Every structure is written in C-alpha cells, then in structure tokens.
Chains A and B, each alone.
Chain A
Amino acid sequence: MGQLVGCVTVELDDLEERITELRGEIRLAKAGGDDAKVRRLRAELRKAERAWDDALEPDFEPDDVPLLPIREQVHQALTLLGVPSATKMIVAVNEAFFAGRVTTTQLTSLRRDEEKSFRSSPYARPYYLCPALTAELLSPARGLLAISTWPMDVRIIGPLSPRTGFLTSAIRVAEHITRLTGAGGDASTEAYRLLTRMARNIPGATEGFGRADPARVISAADAELVVHLESDRRHRREAAERATARLNEVTRLFGAGLKTASRSAS
C-alpha cells in the first residue's frame, strides 16, 4: 500500500508541475497571438488534467507511523512548555518540534483513560496526564492538561495563570528554538510560525510582519510576566496548600469536581 501511495504521489506531483507549466505556456502563447500553439497546448492541458483526475482515483491514506505512543508525545510537549496547556497548544508544539501527529480528539479520550488507569492501579505508571485544577474550587480546569509529577502549585490555575501560562509557554518555545539553532541546527518553519503567532499577542514582541526573533520574544514576554508573576504565585501556592490539606490522592490529581466527588462517595 505504502509503495502504491508513493507512486501515485510522485505521479501527481509530476502532473501538477506539468499542468502549471502548460498554463504558463498557454498564457505566453496567447500573449504572442499564436493561436495554433494555444490550441495545441490546450489539448495537452486537458489530457494532463484528465490524467490527474484519474491518478487521484485510488484511495490513499497517510502512512507515517508515529514514533512515540501518544501519551509520551503529549508528555514531551508538556515538558517543553512547562505549564498546564490546552490541547491545541500541545498539538502545535508537538508538530513544530517533534514532527508528531496528535489530534485533539485523541487527547480527549486520553485524559479519560489516564484517570481510569490511575483508579485501578494507582502510581503504576511513572507519570499521569491529568487536568490542571482551578484555584477557587480545585475542580478540573476545562481543557488544560498537566503532568502528575509537577508540583501541586504548578498544576493550579488561578485568575492570572492563563496569561502567565501563555507568556511562559512563549518563552519556552523561544528558548527551545534558540537551543536548536545554537546547537548548529535550525528549528522548523512550523516552530517559527508558532512563535510568531504567539509573539503577535505579546506587547513589543514583534516588529512588522516578518518572523519573530526568539530573543526579542523572550525579553518582551519576561517584561510582562514580571507584572503578574508575584500575585499569580501567591494565588497558586495558597490553593496548593488547600489542595494538599483537603484532597485525597485521586482528587489531588484529577480534581474535586462535583462529579468526581459523587463518584468517589459511591
């Protein structure tokens, strides 16, 4: 199957190149008023387009096999980011730095499996992927994933944490790009695209419409982070103390939602 798909792709690429070429030639010939040539080229173009249509007929699916199991890919991305993150961000980082292909749907089911696994045999795995917890009610924060081995206060989301988390992620992404380039390599286009996208929402982090500069992003994000960091930490530490005091080993990881509470009660 992989072999066949490869052939088709090559064939398609060639055909597309040919089609583009022919279109250009037709325009040139038309500009030159060479009607006979235009007609001949048109016929060729139609033939190429038909062949392209035909080549597309067979089914083909991406055949790349992920290098790591999904939960490990997620772990890798979260470790890079260093803060509880939304699935979209995890997917983007995974794509930008690890050439992975995780989908958001896969992540949703992953979270359920983790909790089930922990409940059946606690701490059987070296780490679990768990939700971040809200500072106010210590319930699971919607859509944010964290790693169980992180300190409690890192896994807490206070009112300022969405912003500090974003700024921290931007810094971590920029630092990782710097690491890659410093080591003589370079980061992928996707990595720079991700950084630029994030930088556009940080005051002073970009100039013009070009690709963002990692050093500039780091200093701009740092400058804003300083403003929020102290009170964000205070909030999270205070909540972490409450969590350690009040929650059991399951809810400490997966949150004290009303649902979890009623389930553990039964």
Chain B
Amino acid sequence: MGIVTSYARALAVREGRAQPIATVRHLHLSARPMVFIPLKLAGEAAAPLGAMVGTDPADPRLLVVPQPRNRDLRFAFMAELAQIMLPYIEGFATATETVTGRNERERYLDAPQILVPGGRAIEFVRLLGRSTRFRRTDGPYPVDPSVPVLGQWLTFLYERTEFAGSSALVPVTEALALHWATGQSPLEDANLATLLAWISPPPGLTGQEAAAAAENPLDWPPAGPDTDPGFDAQVLQHAIRAYDASGSPALVRQALRTQLEPTWRLMWQAVDQLRGLPEAASVAERWAFDRDQYTREVARLADGGPPRGRRDQAGPAAIRLWDMEAAQQTYDAQRAYDDPLVMTEHRATGKAFTGEAVHVDADRRILLPGGKKPVPRPLVTVRTGDPVRLTPGKKVFSVHRRKQSAEIVEIDGDIVVVQLNDQLAKGAGVPTAGDAVCFTELDLGGRIRPGFPTGEETPWTHGGPPAAYVPTDEDAVEAWS
C-alpha cells in the first residue's frame, strides 16, 4: 500500500472499475498451474470437508469427505488428494539444467505451482501439512503411504509462501491485488468474487454494482476454506445426515459442487486476467530460486528426509528470519526497478527520483582519502520534478544500470547532483546529457548471509544447542479429531 495505491483506489471509485497499480506481472505464472480450492468444516481446526483441484479448467476433480468428523474418511481424502497432487508435484522432477558458478548444481527446468483462492487457504494448507506429515504407514494408526509424503510437500509449499516473491503457492486474491487497486477496502479485496467484479465488471455494470451482486453467497459462495454458515445450516447438515443414514456420499458431493464450481471458474478467470500482463524482468530470477528450492526438496525427500519439526530451533529460526527479510528487501526493490508504476510510489515518498541528466561531468577524477592517484568519479546533474527526500552522502542506485552504485552529492530545489562510484566501463556506465535517469535508495540486495552460529554453537540465551527434532510416536498417532 501507499499513496499511489490509495490514489488509484479513489480513482477506481470514480471510474467504476479497478485501476492498474502495476504495468507488468510480478509473479511467475506456470504454463500448467494447479488450482486447489480446499474447504473445511466450520468450528474445526483442520477438518477437510472437500476440495476442487486440477490443472485443466474444463476438468476439475471434486473430492469430498462425506462425514468430516470421521478420521478414516479424512485420511482417505488426503490419500485421494495425494493421488492427484503428488503426480503433479513430482512430475516436474525430470529435465534439469546445470547452474554454473560458485555453487555449481543441477536445477529442474520447471517446478510445480499451486494456486489457491487466498490467505486463509494458505493457512489451511499449512494445517493440512502439519496434520499429515508425521503420520506413519505402519503401527497403530497406519495411513496410506502417500499421505505423509503429501504432508511434507504441503509443508514445503506453505513455507515457500513465507518468502516474498515466491510463486510456488500463490494466493490468487493477493496476486490480483498486487496489480489492481479496487474501489473497495483491502478487507473486501480478500473476497475473490468482488475483487474480480471490480477488475472486470460485466458489460453495463460498474465495479461497485458488480461487486455488490458478487457479495450474495447464494450466487457466489465464499471461496473457502470457510463455508457459508447458511449453506452449512440449510444444505450441508442435511447432506451429511443423509450420508450417515445411507452411506451414500452423493448428496454431500452435490452440495459441495455447488459451493466450489463458481470459485473454480473465478480462479481460472483470475489466471487469464494475470496472463494478460507481460512478465516483469526479475520474475525469471525469482522463479529460478523457487526451482532451486524445489530441486533441493525433491532430493531431500528422495534421501528419506524427515518431516519438518513442530517448531523451529533457535539457530535455523534466526537464519530463516534473515533470509525472509533479505527476500522481502530484494522483492520490493526488484518490483520497483521492473515497473515504473511501482516506482511512482517511491518517487512520491522521495525515496527515488527520475529526471533528465542536464549536465554530465564524465571525466571528473578525485583523490580518495588515503589514495595516491585520482580515480574517476563522474558527476551527473539531474533535473527532477520529484520531491527528493534523500540527503547528501546517501547511497543510491541507478535503475537503468542496476549494478551501478552512486551517491547524492547535493540537492538544490529540483536539481540533484549524483556521483557515480563504480561500473564506469567506458561509455556504457555513464549517462549523457539529455538521458532520462532514475536513481533510488532501494537496494536489490543479494548479499551473502552473515555467519550464524551452527546448531552446536547456539548461545545459551537461545536455549543452547538444540536436540535435533525427531518425530515421536506421539506425533505419528496424534489424534485428528
């Protein structure tokens, strides 16, 4: 959010439809994504009720748990889901490329991408993963061998969502809201039906009118995982009773189909909507990182890697936190570098400015403190209309020459003088008078993670060296009621 998005929201109200806040698509969109719409039973932590899942818009698979309180039926559901998801997820582990460089490795050419309606579904994926990854295929409560494997994958996918810029598991409402500002509140944007109504209202309707119509749960059931309480009371309760009495899941199937099909259509409409935008420049790099992570997970699981523990230990938690912050910083910067419309937000707040290079002193050389020979440090004088809020000495980067760093020398009204510090290779590195330039303090990051204590070196303040998490019998037979 920010002033540009807020301005665009105001504009959306007046124009009667959502307004763009991006000119390019800032997420990877697979050629063959899998759409997954899970539903859960109200009042329960993680009792799956049903799901619609698949890669073909014309061929959704409907899975149901006709009596969601029955543990065996839940695991049967998970096994059935595994039958669909595992071949999809594992199916990308085929052709690889060799990544050369400091850390030479193999990487799969493509990776799975799962699309869910929104943030609540992401949370539900986490809980499904948590409730199945410790299960065992032998012992007192055996489950189908596919169930713990799916649990591990769902956990992996969920954890990717904690890193900004990952496209492995995508909440579609958030993906849309990243590119369009509607004339409703962010809270209401979490409703896939109204969000799409604002983005592409049917002919003859304003976004407001279309969104109001889309709020009717009878026409547009909630996208889940929570179901409409009215549906629960009037339809589902009866259908589950019918199952209890007859053993036939037909009514439950029919009921859940009515709740899932509209969302299924919206999900693919959202995919089309996002496909209409050209991919941003840095998306491929971020997706490569997703592919790296996928490659590692495939190898880890093939080696019989244990399920992730219930809680993070201090050491890995600190590393994760550092990585998450680094990912966020890089992601924020990349989006701005890739997209002039995203950059406007930073220009408005004075963290970036664009303008025309009105004067370039390309041959300037200065003597650095302690240096013996003057080194080239060109000066670029920029005229800008932006309210620059950077101070002299501030390190900035050139958007057009991404690796080049520079610093602010002087600001006087609409004139900013910038000194270029590196990447000065003849010609290409220095703009000429009349060029359009853009400088920003946003840092693309990409630094090496500092050394964190290893597990054995965990300081006592953080609980000392942790014991490795070994899933216990208790984990394996934990009730799921």
Min CB distance A95 to B, Å, is 17
Best-surrounded residue of A56, A57, A59 (most CB of chain B within 10 A): A56
- Chain B interface extent, by class: 10 to 19
Q: Within B134-157, which residues are at the interface with A (CB < 8 Å)?
A: 144-146
Q: Taking A56-B247, A57-B248, A59-B245 as contacts, is the C-beta distance between A27 and B146 under 8 angstroms?
A: yes
A-chain residues with CB within 8 Å of residue B87 when the two chains form the complex: 30
Question: Contacting A24 at CB < 8 Å: which of B90, B145, B245, B248?
Answer: B145
Q: State whether the Cβ of B46 lies closer than 8 Å to any Cβ in chain A.
A: no
Question: Contacting B146 at CB < 8 Å: which of A23, A57, A59, A60?
Answer: A23
Best-surrounded residue of A23, A26, A53, A57 (most CB of chain B within 10 A): A23
Cα–Cα distance between A214 and B201 once the two chains are bound (Å): 69
Whether B474 contacts A209 by the Cβ 8 Å rule is: yes
Residue of A nearest to B137 (CB): A24
Residue of A nearest to B145 (CB): A27
Residue of B nearest to A60 (CB): B247
Cα–Cα distance between A8 and B384 once the two chains are bound (Å): 81
B-chain residues with CB within 8 Å of residue A209 when the two chains form the complex: 473-474
Q: State whether the Cβ of A20 lies closer than 8 Å to any Cβ in chain B.
A: yes
Min CB distance B356 to A, Å, is 61
Min CB distance A145 to B, Å, is 27
Whether A56 contacts B144 by the Cβ 8 Å rule is: no
Whether B145 contacts A56 by the Cβ 8 Å rule is: no
- Chain A interface extent, by class: 10 to 19
A-chain residues with CB within 8 Å of residue B144 when the two chains form the complex: 20, 23-24
What residues make up the interface of B, taking CB atoms closer than 8 Å to A?
A: 79, 83, 87, 90, 144-146, 245-249, 473-474
Residue of A nearest to B472 (CB): A209
Best-surrounded residue of B145, B247, B249 (most CB of chain A within 10 A): B247
Residue of A nearest to B72 (CB): A16
Whether A56 contacts B248 by the Cβ 8 Å rule is: yes
Cα–Cα distance between A209 and B139 once the two chains are bound (Å): 15
Min CB distance A14 to B, Å, is 16
Q: Within A19-55, which residues are at the interface with B (CB < 8 Å)?
A: 20, 23-24, 26-27, 30, 53
Residue of B nearest to A57 (CB): B248
Cα–Cα distance between A59 and B243 once the two chains are bound (Å): 10
Cα–Cα distance between A27 and B246 once the two chains are bound (Å): 32
B-chain residues with CB within 8 Å of residue A20 when the two chains form the complex: 144
Q: Taking A23-B83, A209-B474 as contacts, is the C-beta distance between A59 and B145 under 8 angstroms?
A: no
Q: Within A106-154, which residues are at the interface with B (CB < 8 Å)?
A: none
A-chain residues with CB within 8 Å of residue B473 when the two chains form the complex: 209
B-chain residues with CB within 8 Å of residue A59 when the two chains form the complex: 245-247
Question: Contacting B79 at CB < 8 Å: which of A23, A30, A53, A56?
Answer: A23
Cα–Cα distance between A10 and B392 once the two chains are bound (Å): 84
Cα–Cα distance between A57 and B245 once the two chains are bound (Å): 11
Min CB distance A20 to B, Å, is 7
Cα–Cα distance between A59 and B90 once the two chains are bound (Å): 40
Add 8 more A-B contacts to A23-B83, A30-B90 (CB < 8 A).
Answer: A23-B144, A24-B145, A27-B145, A27-B146, A56-B246, A56-B249, A59-B245, A59-B247
B-chain residues with CB within 8 Å of residue A53 when the two chains form the complex: 249
Residue of A nearest to B79 (CB): A23
Cα–Cα distance between A59 and B244 once the two chains are bound (Å): 10
B-chain residues with CB within 8 Å of residue A26 when the two chains form the complex: 83
A-chain residues with CB within 8 Å of residue B146 when the two chains form the complex: 23, 27
Min CB distance B149 to A, Å, is 9
A-chain residues with CB within 8 Å of residue B246 when the two chains form the complex: 56, 59
Min CB distance B238 to A, Å, is 16
Residue of B nearest to A38 (CB): B87
Cα–Cα distance between A24 and B245 once the two chains are bound (Å): 31
Cα–Cα distance between A26 and B247 once the two chains are bound (Å): 27
Residue of B nearest to A45 (CB): B83
Cα–Cα distance between A177 and B53 once the two chains are bound (Å): 49
* Contact code string A51-75 (vs B, CB < 8 Å = 1, else 0): 0010011011000000000000000
B-chain residues with CB within 8 Å of residue A24 when the two chains form the complex: 144-145
Cα–Cα distance between A209 and B472 once the two chains are bound (Å): 11
* Contact code string A191-218 (vs B, CB < 8 Å = 1, else 0): 0000000000000000001000000000
A-chain residues with CB within 8 Å of residue B248 when the two chains form the complex: 56-57
Min CB distance B277 to A, Å, is 36
Cα–Cα distance between A57 and B90 once the two chains are bound (Å): 35
A-chain residues with CB within 8 Å of residue B83 when the two chains form the complex: 23, 26
B-chain residues with CB within 8 Å of residue A23 when the two chains form the complex: 79, 83, 144, 146
A-B contact pairs, 12 of them (CB 8 A): A23-B79, A23-B83, A23-B144, A23-B146, A24-B144, A24-B145, A27-B145, A53-B249, A56-B246, A56-B249, A60-B247, A209-B474
Min CB distance A134 to B, Å, is 33
